[in-house]
Amino acid sequence: MPGNTEPPPASPATGDATPPTSRVGLAWEIAVFQFKLALDGLRDLLLVPVSLVAGIIGVILGGDRPDRFFQDVLRFGRASERWINLFGGHGSGTSDELIAPLQARVMRELDTNTQLRHAGEKLEKNLDRVADRIQRQANIVSNAKQHSAAKKDEPPLG
């Protein structure tokens, strides 16, 4: 966005603000983000009934701290949110520490496995062709719009 001075968000896969430099890197980022979204959703599904039960128990039992069970649920929610680290930026002690070795292994396999490397190169070429075709179509549409706008500005014949 023009005028946006906000730094880029942290990567959900690495926790830093370095954008992926390849399609493979982007695909990895997307996969990690989807995995974390699923974890976050499961956590939320779990927290709905647990928080209701904790709140109801607090209302029934009362006492000096009727909210103690509910507060435990909130503490768990904050801790799990930090661990999932959906949008990155939390540093150590997050799911990223489990994901990083997997990423290293997958990337190493992509680098060393000849069949995967050839398949990846083929995919890259095909994606480049698709991207070129889309760009050409976009240029045709843009040129047609410019031509149409220029025709509207011409005086009528006759």
Phi-psi region of 85 (alpha: psi -120 to 50; beta: other; left: phi over 0): left
With 0-12 CB in 10 A as exposed, 13-18 as middle and 19+ as buried, what is 84?
Answer: buried
Q: What's the confidence (pLDDT) of residue 129?
A: 92
One-letter-per-residue 3-state SS of 14-41: CCCCCCCCCHHHHHHHHHHHHHHHHHHH
Sequential DSSP letters for 44-91: HHHHHHHHHHHHHHHHHH-SS-TTHHHHHHHHHHHHHHHHH-TTS---
Rg value, the chain, Cα: 26
Give the Cα separation of 157 and 25 in Å (integer). Answer: 57
Name the token pair of 53: 């039960």
- The pTM of this model reads 0.69
Provide the 3-class DSSP secondary structure of residue 66: coil
10-residue mean pLDDT profile of the chain (158 residues): values are 57 59 86 95 97 96 93 96 90 88 88 86 89 91 80 66
CA 100-93-33 angle, 5° bins: 50
Q: What's the confidence (pLDDT) of residue 156?
A: 64
